[in-house]
Amino acid sequence: MVCHPLFSWSCLLIPPNMTMMVFGYKDRWVSILELLEAIQQRRSIRKFTEQTVDKGLVQELIDVSVWAPSASNEQPWGFVIVQDQVYLNELSTAAKSGILEKINVLPALEQYRSTMENQAFNIFYNAPALVIFYGKKDDPHTDHDCSMAAQNFMLAAREKELGTCWIGFAEAVCASDEFKTKHHIPEDYKLVAPIILGYPDHFPQNSISRKDYPVFSWVTNN
C-alpha cells in the first residue's frame, strides 16, 4: 500500500460514547447508494448536526479518495484534517477578516461584504470536520489530480450518508504561510481543496436540473 502524506490532524479528544463507531456496523446503513445514484444525489451541504465523524471513517474516505487517476501516476496529494470545533471557529474568524481586507482591492468580492461582516456566519457552517487537499506545486497537473481525488472523497462521503462542501473562502487561511508552517506542510505543496464533512441536518430532496451543455463536435466513422 502506498502511503500518502498526512501533514496534520487536529482534533479534540471525544469520549467514545459521543462518537459514531463505523467499522463493524456497516449493516446499519439505511441504504448503500450505487455510484450513479451517489453522483446524482450529492449536494453541497451547509447545515450539519452536532454528531462527530469518527476518525476511522475520515481515514477510510481519504483512503478511497486517493484512488483517483493522476498524471503519470504521480499521486501529488497530501492532507490536513481538522476536527477541533474551537479551532475551526478561529480559522473562520481569521478567514473572514482576510477576505474583508481583500475586498478593497478585488471588487468582485464586494457581494460578500455583508456576509463576512456577520459575526454569526461561520465559513465552515459549523461542520465537525475539515479535510484539506494539498498538491505538489511542481506538478503541472496538481489541480486536476487533487480535484479528482476530492470528487472521490465527496462521492464516498455521500454513500456513507455524510455531507460535504468545498469551501473556497478557506483559501484565506489554509493557503497562508502561517497555517502551512503550523501544520507541517512542506513548502513545495499548495492548497487545492478545503472540504467540510459532517452528518447533514437533512439531504435536500428536490432534484437539481442540469443546464443544457454544448457538444461542439462528435466524430464517428459511421
67-121 confidence digits (pLDDT tens) = 999 999 999 999 999 999 999 999 999 999 999 999 988 888 899 999 999 999 9
* Lowest-confidence region among 9-13, 124-128, 171-175, 176-180: 9-13
pLDDT band at 30 (very low <50, low <70, confident <90, very high): very low
Could you tell me if residue 163 is inside a domain?
yes
* Total tally of structural domains belonging to the chain: 1
DSSP characters over 24-46: T-GGG-S----HHHHHHH--B--
pLDDT of residue 60: 97
CA 85, 153, 76, 138 torsion-angle sign: negative
> Within a domain: residue 180?
yes
In a domain, 169, yes or no: yes
Residue 185 pLDDT > 50: yes
Average pLDDT over residues 13-27: 39
Asked if residue 20 has pLDDT above 50, the reply is no
Q: Is 143 inside any structural domain?
A: yes
In this structure, are residues 42 and 187 in contact, taking their beta carbons and an 8 Å threshold?
Answer: no
| 116, 96 contact by CB (below 8 A) | yes
Domain assignment present for residue 160? The answer is: yes
Q: Is 81 contained in some domain?
A: yes
Q: Residue 151: give its domain's CATH number.
A: 3.40.109.10
What residues make up the domain containing 52?
30-60+74-85+125-198
Domain-located, residue 221: no
C-alpha cell at 47: 447545515
pLDDT digits (tens, 9 = 90+) for 201-210: 988 877 778 8
Q: Contact at 8 Å (CB) between 83 and 10?
A: yes
**Is residue 109 a part of any domain in this protein?**
no
H-helix or E-strand containing 159? Answer: helix 142-159
Residue range 46-72: mean pLDDT, rounded: 97
Residue 168 has pLDDT above 70, yes or no: yes
